């Protein structure tokens, strides 16, 4: 025990006290703050890309994903459908589905508070770790869009919290809960499988040290299996249906098109530079220095080595996986790594709070608070600098009504309603039974969702068409709408009439000759 620690009002000393009321009351407070922030800044409309497809699948109750089993994310799907059912039409289904991300993001932040309180015994440090994740650029963004990543981190951080509690108390119920959450994590996303080996080692060590009995390990394994059933059951059903073991396994582990990316063993300089830039964008404050200090010193001071080693293993595994995962939206997979960094950052600041020099402690603490409060400002300034330097010159998509700098760099997703504007306008222009042609598949999901919400079953939305389809629709006097892939690229001349600009979209005027 550090001198004077027992009289410190933010210190939580006994393992029993650290896993009960102080954690729970703080957890609830942080949860409420996270819910208020994320719900106030959440995107309330249709969305681009995979977010739009998730919303469409939930709204149309389509569980399967043609890209493979690994892209189904059944737990997220079923929770999304539950949120839509619970809200009962009081809010738009797309916003109801986004509230899953909001809730899971808030739970993640609260779990970080619980983890750091167990690791560092300091409430201020726990709030620092939780707050740093809450305002981190990508985490804030994913907590306000429809994605499965915050559900990944909610379950993973809950798993970490229970792991630390088990190591501290040897209570087998924490071990069981840890395994159940990992199973549920697998039911949501294959990312959860990255830490499954770490938990297996914990169970084996517990058996070897006789902290648990064999039947306790069996119960834990059964709970893991029950938690994973939304996904493992789906895989089993597909195996029975297809009879193709190798194909089903490949689909379950990688999907139909991502095996090369998942198994990639190299990292390009370009992706390494982008990764480093995003890490700094997320933590332009004291979190990263605090995390380094926590890794080197803080986390080893207050918890048994097993807990520290398990968390370090989780960080290393996730960092190795994502840093060589060379896909376009690589930065969205950083969230588990960020959660671990915030745990270590909180532990690092907790160690700082034990320094003998009161002046040094206060200086670091004040700097931590000030830089935390300025983090959103830094994100907005980063977007402005990126715009001025035109850093997206070779990557900007220029989708209808979308400002790519706002879409990518501003963390609160309510700042961008371009997909909602585009999809609603397309449906309005299509009239009673028009044809909507979408050049970009990643935009088609929002348009299809808007068509479903309109209740007009006569509207057709397609990404595959020919000139003959346009000519036939024109001959039937149907309104034909074109949603371009990029507003900077004029569409090809139609076989009949001309495209008349309607904002960023186009409407076919069949009776006007092309020039």
* pLDDT for residue 262: 74
Confidence band for 8, pLDDT divided at 50, 70 and 90 = low
Cβ atoms of 202 and 166 within 8 Å: the answer is yes
Per cent of the chain over pLDDT 70 is: 95
Confidence band for 490, pLDDT divided at 50, 70 and 90 = confident
* pLDDT for residue 5: 39
* pLDDT for residue 506: 97
Determine how many CB atoms are found less than 10 A away from the CB of residue 301: 16
- Give the tokens for residue 73: 């994310």
- Mean residue pLDDT of the chain comes to 91
What is the distance between the alpha carbons of residues 486 and 440, in angstroms, rounded to a whole number?
A: 9
Rg (CA), the chain: 25
pLDDT for residue 11 is more than 70:
no
- The SS3 call for residue 501 is strand
Look at 327-341, 369-383, 419-433, 500-514 and tell me which has the smallest mean pLDDT.
500-514
Average pLDDT over residues 55-68: 95
pLDDT for residue 21 is more than 70:
no
* pLDDT for residue 18: 59
Average pLDDT over residues 41-68: 95
pLDDT for residue 270 is more than 90:
no
- DSSP code, position 295: I
- Give the tokens for residue 399: 């989708």
Write the CB contacts of 322 (distance below 8 Å, at least 6 apart in sequence).
275, 330, 333, 334, 336, 337
Average pLDDT over residues 201-211: 96
* Beta-carbon-side half-sphere exposure of residue 285 (alpha carbons within 13 Å): 32
pLDDT for residue 326 is more than 50:
yes
- DSSP code, position 146: S
* pLDDT for residue 368: 93
* Beta-carbon-side half-sphere exposure of residue 454 (alpha carbons within 13 Å): 24
- The SS3 call for residue 135 is coil
Average pLDDT over residues 230-254: 93
Question: What b/e sequence results for 131-159 when a residue is b if at least 16 CB atoms lie within 10 Å of its CB, and e otherwise?
Answer: bbbbbbbbbbbbbbbbbbbbbbbbbbbbb
The pLDDT tens digits for 390-401 are 888 877 788 999
Average pLDDT over residues 425-431: 95
What is the distance between the alpha carbons of residues 398 and 440, in angstroms, rounded to a whole number?
A: 11
- The SS3 call for residue 456 is coil
- The SS3 call for residue 329 is coil
DSSP H helical ranges for 209-258: 214-242, 245-254
pLDDT for residue 489 is more than 60:
yes
Per cent of the chain over pLDDT 90 is: 75
Closest CA to 406 of 421, 422, 392: 392
* pLDDT for residue 12: 57
Cβ atoms of 428 and 481 within 8 Å: the answer is no
Determine how many CB atoms are found less than 10 A away from the CB of residue 475: 10
Confidence band for 7, pLDDT divided at 50, 70 and 90 = very low
Phi, psi values for residue 506, rounded to 5°: -135, 145
What is the distance between the alpha carbons of residues 258 and 251, in angstroms, rounded to a whole number?
A: 9
pLDDT for residue 457 is more than 70:
yes
């Amino acid at each position: 025990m550090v001198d004077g620690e027992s009289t410190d009002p933010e210190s939580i000393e006994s393992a029993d006290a650290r896993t009960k009321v102080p954690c729970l009351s703080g957890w609830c407070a942080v949860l409420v703050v996270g819910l208020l922030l994320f719900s106030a800044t959440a995107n309330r409309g249709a969305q681009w890309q995979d977010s739009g497809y998730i919303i469409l699948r939930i709204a149309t109750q389509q569980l399967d994903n043609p890209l493979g089993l690994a892209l189904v994310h059944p737990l997220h799907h079923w929770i999304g459908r539950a949120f839509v059912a619970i809200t009962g039409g009081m809010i738009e289904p797309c916003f109801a589905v986004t509230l899953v991300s909001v809730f899971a993001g808030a739970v993640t932040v609260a779990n970080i508070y619980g983890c750091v309180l167990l690791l560092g015994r300091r409430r201020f440090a726990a709030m620092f770790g939780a707050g740093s994740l809450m305002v981190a650029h990508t985490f804030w963004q994913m907590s306000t869009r429809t994605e499965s990543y915050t559900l990944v981190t909610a379950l993973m951080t809950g798993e970490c919290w229970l792991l630390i509690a088990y190591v501290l108390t040897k209570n087998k119920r924490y071990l069981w809960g840890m395994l159940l959450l990992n199973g549920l994590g697998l039911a949501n996303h294959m990312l959860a499988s990255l830490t499954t080996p770490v938990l297996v080692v914990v169970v084996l060590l517990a058996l070897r040290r006789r902290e648990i009995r064999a039947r306790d390990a069996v119960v834990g394994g059964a709970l893991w299996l029950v938690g994973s059933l939304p996904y493992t059951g789906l895989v089993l059903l597909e195996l029975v249906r297809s009879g193709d073991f190798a194909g089903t396994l490949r689909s379950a582990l990688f999907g139909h098109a991502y095996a090369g990316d998942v198994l990639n063993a190299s990292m390009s300089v370009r992706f390494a530079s982008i990764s480093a830039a995003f890490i700094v964008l997320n933590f332009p404050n004291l979190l990263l220095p605090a995390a380094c200090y926590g890794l080197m010193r803080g986390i080893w001071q207050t918890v048994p080595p097993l807990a520290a080693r398990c968390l370090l293993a989780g960080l290393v595994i996730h960092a190795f996986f994502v840093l060589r995962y060379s896909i376009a939206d690589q930065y969205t997979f950083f969230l588990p790594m960020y959660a671990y960094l915030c745990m270590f950052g909180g532990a690092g600041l907790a160690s700082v709070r034990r320094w003998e020099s009161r002046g040094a402690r206060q200086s670091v603490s004040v700097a931590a608070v000030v830089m935390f409060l300025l983090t959103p400002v830094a994100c907005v300034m980063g977007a402005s600098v990126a715009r001025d330097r035109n850093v997206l010159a070779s990557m900007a998509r220029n989708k209808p009504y979308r400002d790519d700098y706002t879409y990518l760099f501003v963390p609160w997703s309510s700042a961008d309603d371009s997909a909602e504007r585009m999809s609603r306008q397309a449906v309005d222009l299509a009239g009673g039974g028009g044809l909507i042609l979408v050049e970009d598949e990643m935009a088609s999901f929002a348009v299809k969702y808007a068509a479903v919400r309109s209740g007009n079953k006569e509207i057709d939305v397609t990404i595959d068409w020919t000139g003959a389809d346009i000519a036939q629709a024109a001959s039937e006097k149907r309104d034909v709408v074109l949603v371009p892939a990029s507003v900077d690229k004029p569409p090809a001349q139609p076989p009949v009439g001309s495209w008349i600009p309607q904002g960023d979209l186009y409407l076919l005027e069949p009776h006007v000759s092309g020039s």
